[in-house]
């Protein structure tokens, strides 16, 4: 994911990126089992889940989870896509 590369380049180390990757993967495993776990957005087909300092926006079908966007929680909410 682009966000993992960003943090590795910014920090000069992959340690935080590896931790973040583990957090994303664990959260997505839970979302895969319980897709309605995330909070709804203004778009009825999109939900989001906080993971650390980040928000993962996703939609889902009966067989798949679609990650639409990953945002840092400090970004202006008015700029969010959903």
pLDDT in tens, 26-40: 999 999 999 999 999
Q: Where do the domains of the chain lie? A: 2-75
Please state, rounded to an integer, the average pLDDT across all residues of the chain. 91
Contacts of 20 (CB under 8 A, 6+ apart): 3, 4, 7, 52, 54
Q: What is the CATH number of domain 2-75?
A: 3.30.2310.20
Q: How far apart are CA 49 and CA 41, in angstroms?
A: 10
Q: What is the pLDDT of residues 65-76, one digit of tens each?
A: 999 999 988 888
Q: What three-state secondary structure class fits 55?
A: strand
pTM: 0.84
How far does CA 54 lie from the centroid of its chain?
A: 6
**End-to-end CA gap in the chain:** 20
Q: How far apart are CA 16 and CA 4, in angstroms?
A: 8
């Amino acid at each position: 994911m682009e966000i993992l590369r960003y943090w590795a380049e910014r920090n000069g180390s992959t340690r935080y990126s590896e931790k973040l990757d583990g957090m994303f993967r664990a959260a997505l495993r839970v979302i895969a089992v319980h897709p309605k776990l995330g909070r709804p957005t203004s778009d009825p087909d999109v939900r989001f889940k906080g993971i650390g300092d980040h928000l993962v926006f996703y939609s889902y079908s009966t067989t798949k989870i679609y990650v639409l966007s990953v945002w840092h929680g400090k970004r202006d909410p008015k700029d969010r896509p959903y």
